Each structure stands twice: as C-alpha cells, then as structure tokens.
Homo-oligomer: A and B are copies of this chain.
C-alpha cells in the first residue's frame, strides 16, 4: 500500500511511534488513512507537519502553543500578530527561567562552599545551609 508507515515517519523525524499516535489523539495530527488491515499510512503533508511539531517541541513550545501555530499555518491570510506573540511569549518565559536558574545556581554554590568537608565526625554544614532560607541572598 502507498504512503509512509508510522515507523518511517518516526525515523525521519526522530519522534517515537507511540508519541506520534499520542499527537494524533491530541489532535495535532489528522486521522491518517489506513490500510485494509488498519495500519496508518501518511502523506508528505503529515510528514512536514510532524517535523514542524518536533522542531517546535525542541524549541520548548508546549502542545497547545503548537496547535495554535499549526492553525495559523492553515489560515489563508497571514496572522503575524499571533505568531509573533507566541514566539515572543516563549522568549520571555525562557528568560525568566534563566534568571531563576541563575539565582538558584548562586545559592547552591554558596551552600556547597559553606562546608569545607574536612571535619569528619562533625555534621555537614551543607545540610544546615540547605535548611536556612534566612541565609539566602536572593528570593527564589
């Protein structure tokens, strides 16, 4: 039978077979054609769409955002506003997370430094430092 099998799509895109079926259940991929025996067969359009989904996932978009982006692709006229907003929101989110992680990193470096680890038999001050938010230099 003609068309791409689910395994071929998986190999081409790096998305696991089970995940492709999951995307179908979530409505990100259309119900594909089936062979007489019930196996899925895809065309190139589905392959392209799955590649898009895979790449957007790698860039950290969640499935709802991806669904929105796909809907925008389908609209005959361009809707720059929405697409730009979704991408910019994602940038803001990433920057927030980076800022937060940097604060955490600084606190943890401080925590590790708090104990020299030399005094065997003495309690580890790392554990005290972990318990004590008072000693933290930033909110987190």
Chain A positions within 8 Å of B, measured between CB atoms, are 48, 51-52, 55-56, 58-60, 69, 72-73, 77-81, 83-84, 87-88, 90-91, 94-95, 97-98, 101-102, 104-105, 107-109, 111-112, 115, 117, 119-124, 126-127, 130-133, 140
The answer to whether B131 and A80 have CB atoms under 8 Å apart is no
Q: Decide yes or no: A78 and B123 within 8 Å by CB, A90-B108, A109-B91 being known contacts.
A: yes
Tell which of B55, B94, B101 touches A133, judged by Cβ atoms closer than 8 Å. B55
A105 with B91, Cβ < 8 A, contacts A80-B115, A115-B84, A122-B78 known: yes
21 interchain pairs, CB-CB under 8 A: A48-B131, A52-B131, A55-B133, A59-B104, A59-B108, A69-B130, A72-B124, A72-B127, A73-B127, A77-B120, A77-B121, A78-B120, A78-B123, A80-B115, A80-B117, A83-B115, A83-B126, A84-B112, A84-B117, A87-B108, A87-B130
